Amino acid sequence: MLPPPTFFSTLITFHLFPLHAPITLYGLNAPFGRFASKTSRFNLNGNIAWAAAELVSPITFATTLLLNPHAPLNYPARILAGLYFAHYAHRAIFSPLILSPKRSPLHVIVALAMGVFNVFNGYLVASGLAFYPPDDKVSWKFWLGVFGWAVGFIGNVYHDEVLNDLRRPPSDRLVISHLPEDDDPKSGKYKVPRGGLFNLVSFPNYLSEWIEWTCFAIAASSSPIISLPSLTRLSLQPGLGRWISTIWWPSHLLHPAWMFVLAEISSMLPRALKGHEWYQEKLDNYPKNRKAVIPGML
C-alpha cells in the first residue's frame, strides 16, 4: 500500500528544512534561552510554551496513525512507536511541567516554529513506520538500535537535569552535588555545568539526542533511502507540495526517520556552536579544553 499523496509532497518539503542552517549559524539567534530578550511583549511563559509546542509532535504522530488507512503496525514498528511516545512524554510533559525550574521566556515565533517542525516530524515519522516499516523479522540490528536509543535518551535526560540543577536550590538538586551550598540559583548568573559529558563538550544533551534518534532510525529502516513513485503513478493533491513537485520530483529521498535526524542536527548544531562561543566569551572560568558538541572534534 502506497502512502497518501500528501506524504510524498510533505517529505519533499521537509528536505528543504536544513537549508536554514547557514542563516542560524552566521546571522540569526533564535530568541530563547541565553539569547532571549527578557522584555519582548511577544514572550510566552517558557515552561508552558515549550510543553505546548512539543506536544504537537506526539499528537500529530497519533492522529496520523489513527486517521490514515494503513496495514497494522508490525511488532518492531509498535516498539518504536512506544519509544517515540516515551521521548515526548518526557520532553513535552515531565521535563517542562514537572522537573524543570522556571525557564527563560519563549518568543512566540520560536514556539510557532517548533510547532510547525513538530507537525512535519510527527506526521512523517508515523507515516514512515506505517508505510515503510522495519523488517517483520526482528534482527540484532533492530535491538542494537533500540539499545542505542535508550542510551541516548538516558543521556539526554541526565544532562538536561544537570542544567536544571544549576537553577535549583541545593535541597532540590537531582543529579549533582558539587555546587557550593551557598550558591544562589536565583542570581540569574550562568554557571559552568559539570558532570557526565559536560566535562568534554558544552552541549552533551544535544549529542545524546542525536545518538537517540540516529539509533531510532537504524532500528526503523533497513535502508536510509526510500524510492518515490513517478508522477505518472501519483495524483498529487493541491498545495505547497504540488508546487514543489513541478520543479523537483526526485526518485529517492531519505527515510522519514533519517530525515528527522538530519533536520535535528541542522537545527541544533548552529545553536551549539554559537552557544559554546557565548560560554567562552561570558564565563571567565569556562574550561578551555571543551568542544561544542562532539568530544575532541567540534
pLDDT in tens, 2-44: 787 788 889 988 998 888 777 776 666 655 555 555 667 888 8
Task: Name the pTM for this structure.
Answer: 0.89
User: What per-residue confidence (pLDDT) applies to 231?
Assistant: 56
259 within 8 A of 252, measured Cβ to Cβ? no
Q: In the chain, pLDDT over 70 holds for what percent of residues?
A: 84
User: What per-residue confidence (pLDDT) applies to 238?
Assistant: 47
CA terminus-to-terminus distance, the chain: 43
Q: Which residues are CB-neighbours of 123 under 8 A, at least 6 positions away?
A: 7, 10, 60, 61, 64
- Put residue 230 in one of left, alpha, beta given phi > 0 → left and psi -120 to 50 → alpha: beta
Cα separation, 148 vs 158, whole angstroms: 15
User: What per-residue confidence (pLDDT) applies to 237?
Assistant: 45
User: What per-residue confidence (pLDDT) applies to 25?
Assistant: 67
Cα separation, 50 vs 289, whole angstroms: 32
Q: Is the confidence at residue 246, as pLDDT, over 90? A: no
Q: Which three cell numbers stand for residue 247?
A: 520543479
> Exposed, middle or buried by CB within 10 Å (0-12, 13-18, 19+), for 278?
middle
Q: Is the confidence at residue 240, as pLDDT, over 50? A: no
Cα separation, 83 vs 77, whole angstroms: 10
Of residues 252 and 215, which shows the higher confidence score? 215
Task: Look at residues 122, 112, 8, 1 and name the one whose alpha carbon lies nearest to residue 66.
Answer: 122
Separate counts of helices (H) and strands (E) for the chain: 9, 4
pLDDT digits (tens, 9 = 90+) for 34-70: 555 566 788 889 899 999 999 999 999 999 999 988 9
Domains of the chain, by residue range, sit at 5-137+225-282
